[in-house]
Amino acid sequence: MKTVRWGMIGCGDVAEVKSGPGFYKASHSSLVAVMRRNGVRAADFARRHGVARWSDDAQAIINAPDIDVVYISTLTDSHREYTLRCAQAGKPVYVEKPMAMNYTEALEMVEACRSAGVLLWVGYYRRALPRFLKVKQLVEAGAVGQVRVVISRQTATLPALRAVAELPWRVDAKLSGGGFFFEAACHTFDFLDFLFGPIVKVEAIAANQANAYQPEDVVVAAYQFKSGVYGSGTWCYTADEDYEMNEIIGSTGRIQFSTSKPVPVRLQRGGSVEEFPVADPPHVHQPMIQSIVDELNGVGHCHSTGVTAARTAWVMDEILKELRGTDD
């Protein structure tokens, strides 16, 4: 099989551990060059990760003849621009999540790549993580019978104002698309899409209760999947404790799993409880990176595409449309 040569646009915190090493540790994969607008930091990342080349110019990565695929690891506000530039150059794209600022941008990205004949993948890496694949295997094996409802719940303490100031992009909707909910809960919705198929109906309330920053800090939502499964969720980022869990309720049992914490998957049925302690790998993007490399080599398939990620973008838009003032 051929070695897939990657170029990276953006090499900040996410690329440091979660994704970056996966590009040179996956089989038949190499990281050829990295880019960051701050050239000093790009050079430092390249030196520490053994990458031969760095740049402060994204187009140098996109146009490089020795780069086969571009990974976009910038803030959400630039995902669309860089994806369209890669498509114009005929380069396949692996873009971070959230895929785009909104559903309209996501559709533009999908169409641009489709028209250019290039593949588009999105960094919803939980679709390839062993812990989440265990949940999928249990559901598909009928471990809880017919799935009826899935419930998600997350609470988090309000970050100290200093912590908010140190991460301004996470609570600046012009850069991130929303608040902590928009930036993180999309992982849950994307994985539920992987389990149960598309969500076709959403009813939700989103608001800002604490006024510590501008975007949403509380969300309550109910939704219906095309498959007939129903779901609901509550997210509050100004609560008394940090907690996050999902529960799949079936006709004969239930499964609990966390989106954000590598805790054991828990199966409860018939009065008994069984736990499956499946650890996450050191670099959580690596299994998905491997699936992309395998797909490019004709021996596998990556399950997180622009099309599937756009469905998640639609759900997020539906939940936040009233708060954003985009409600029809």
Strand 243-250 versus strand 230-239 pairing type? unpaired
pLDDT band at residue 170 under the 50/70/90 scheme: confident
Q: Classify residue 24 by burial, with Cβ atoms within 10 Å: 0-12, 13-18, 19+.
A: middle
Q: What does the pLDDT average to over 279-299?
A: 98
Q: Give the pLDDT score at 289.
A: 98
In the chain, what percentage of residues exceed pLDDT 70?
Answer: 97
Per-residue model confidence (pLDDT) at position 159 = 73
SS3 138: helix
Which of 125, 98, 269, 115 shows the shortest CA–CA distance to 194? Answer: 125
Residue 328 is predicted with a pLDDT of: 55
For tokens 């489709």, the residue is: 114
Q: Kindly state the percentage of the chain with pLDDT values over 90.
A: 92
Per-residue pLDDT averaged across 45-66, rounded? 98
CA torsion through residues 171, 177, 182, 187, sign:
negative
Place of tokens 């997020």: 316
pTM of the model: 0.96
For residues 259 and 187, the answer to whether their CB atoms sit within 8 Å is yes
Q: What domains sit in the chain, N to C, each tagged with a CATH number?
A: 4-125+284-304 (3.40.50.720), 130-279 (3.30.360.10)
Nearest C-alpha neighbor of 105 from the set 84, 89, 123, 91: 84
- Chain centroid offset of residue 61 CA: 23
User: How would residue 164 be classed by pLDDT, with cut points 50, 70 and 90?
Assistant: low
Question: Where is average pLDDT lowest: 203-207, 228-232, 323-327?
Answer: 323-327
pLDDT tens string 16-38? 999 999 999 999 999 999 999 99
Q: d(Cα 138, Cα 118) in Å, to the nearest integer?
A: 34
The tokens for 9 are 């646009």
More confident residue, 166 or 211: 211
pLDDT at 160 exceeding the cut of 70 = no
What span, in angstroms and rounded, lies between the C-alpha atoms of 84 and 82? 5
Whether residue 103 has pLDDT greater than 60 = yes
Q: Which pair of tokens denotes residue 77?
A: 């506000």
Q: Which residue has the tokens 């996470």?
A: 170
Maximum distance among all alpha carbons in the chain? 60
According to DSSP, residue 259 is labeled S
pLDDT number for residue 166: 62
CA end-to-end span of the chain, whole Å?
Answer: 50
Q: Show Cβ contacts of residue 319 under 8 Å, excluding neighbours closer than 6 positions.
A: 202, 204, 206, 219, 221
Structure tokens of 216?
Answer: 């949403």
Residue type, 24: Y
Given a cut of 90, whether residue 66 has pLDDT beyond it is: yes
pLDDT, position 163:
59
* Other Cβ atoms within 10 Å of 248 Cβ, number: 25
Q: Averaged over 148-158, what is the pLDDT?
A: 95
Q: What is the mean pLDDT of the chain?
A: 95
Residue 326 confidence (pLDDT) above 90: no
- For residue 72, give every residue at least 6 positions away whose Cβ sits within 8 Å of its Cβ, in sequence order, or none: 9, 10, 78, 79, 82, 83, 86, 93, 94, 95, 96
pLDDT in tens, 268-281: 999 999 999 999 99
Coil, strand, or helix at residue 2? coil
